Chain A
Amino acid sequence: MNDTFAGDEKLYRAVFPPDIAQMYWRKDGTVSSAAFADPKGLSVDRGNYKNDREVLTDMSTRFIGSILRIYVKNCVDIGCLIRYLPSGKNPYHSEIHGSDRAVLLSKQQRYYLSKKAIILS
């Protein structure tokens, strides 16, 4: 993996707090845009073209709770920046930023991603 992201690569977001993931579920079955607000950068795991099941199995070793999936293209379409920031514990760790100057996503960006997100677990 390098620090470039193609539009068709999937990104996976673990929704916290892990014991109450329903905290962000709306009554219509979608996720609230509030789940995409993080002033320290929106942490995601890049999919690296693995299938969803493999990714979920891998993420379950690091996270408890629900996982959302979006595509890199969804982020690029609204001007977000994706940074590949692997750590010792997690070689897939990446962050979505609002832009190259703003870490926090704007309200429009959060709303758009919440509409594109698929709840996997």
Chain B
Amino acid sequence: MIAKQIEIRSNIKKYFDLAYEGDAVIVPRKENKNVVIISEEEYSRLNEIARLSAYSDVAQGRGTDMSRSSDVVSSSVKADNLKKLDAIARLKDDWNGNGAKAFEKSFISRIQKLIDQLQIQPEIFPTALQTIQLEFDNSRRDHMEIEIGDDKTAEIFVVLYNGEEYFDHVAVTANALNRKVAQFYE
């Protein structure tokens, strides 16, 4: 469905409801700077497709040949992650109100380089242990956390959809991380 900005402004609830019910509302703008309104559920579904597509490309050795839509979504998630790492780098001593130290700039740079090379983008979080936690969730609803610190290896914690848990380790290199993540999405 296509709707002009003026129509949306005066009937915003109607268009949000349509998007929530599954319609994609395309809003044309000058110079083709169009936007699309979709539901959060649809947005999550597209992200999942992008992740799976990226996995498929990794598995088939087509790391740089992703479909345009997957590429756009992955790039956007990567850009968000790099921006978040910038914010983490700006945290000062005692950022958690309980004495956590600021992150070393060199450590954050190292993580940024890794994130830049990951073919499936995680959600990333700082910890008060001065580590960065990468989180992945696949379509089976398994959950994987990789906690990266100063060591050359990182600990992996996985909770499967049925509640089973296991630990693993991975070398902190882009290649090793990409392989582990690809296995998780198999």
Show the binding face of A for B, using Cβ within 8 Å.
Answer: 14, 16-18, 20, 23-24, 26-28, 32-35, 37-41, 43, 63, 104, 107-108, 111
Contacts and interface: CB of A to CB of B under 8 A. Distances in A.
Contact of B129 (A23, A33, A37): A37
A41 B128 CA distance: 10
Interface in B54-101: 84, 87-88, 91, 95-100
B153 interface: no
Contacts of A32: 123, 125, 133, 135
Nearest to B157: A107
Given A43-B98, A107-B167, 8 more contacts: A26-B123, A26-B135, A34-B125, A34-B133, A37-B133, A39-B128, A107-B147, A111-B143
Nearest to A65: B97
Nearest to B84: A23
Contacts of A37: 127-129, 133
A17 B95 contact: yes
Given A20-B87, A107-B157, A111-B145, A40 B123 contact: no
A16 B100 CA distance: 10
Interface of B: 44, 47, 84, 87-88, 91, 95-100, 123, 125-129, 133, 135, 137, 143, 145, 147, 155, 157, 159, 165, 167
A87 to B, nearest CB: 13
Contacts of B128: 37-40
A40 B99 contact: yes
B65 to A, nearest CB: 26
A107 B156 CA distance: 10
A108 B165 contact: yes
Contacts of B133: 32-34, 37
Nearest to A107: B157
A16 B95 CA distance: 7
B157 A34 contact: no
Contact of B96 (A17, A107, A108): A17
B157 A27 contact: no
Contacts of B95: 16-17
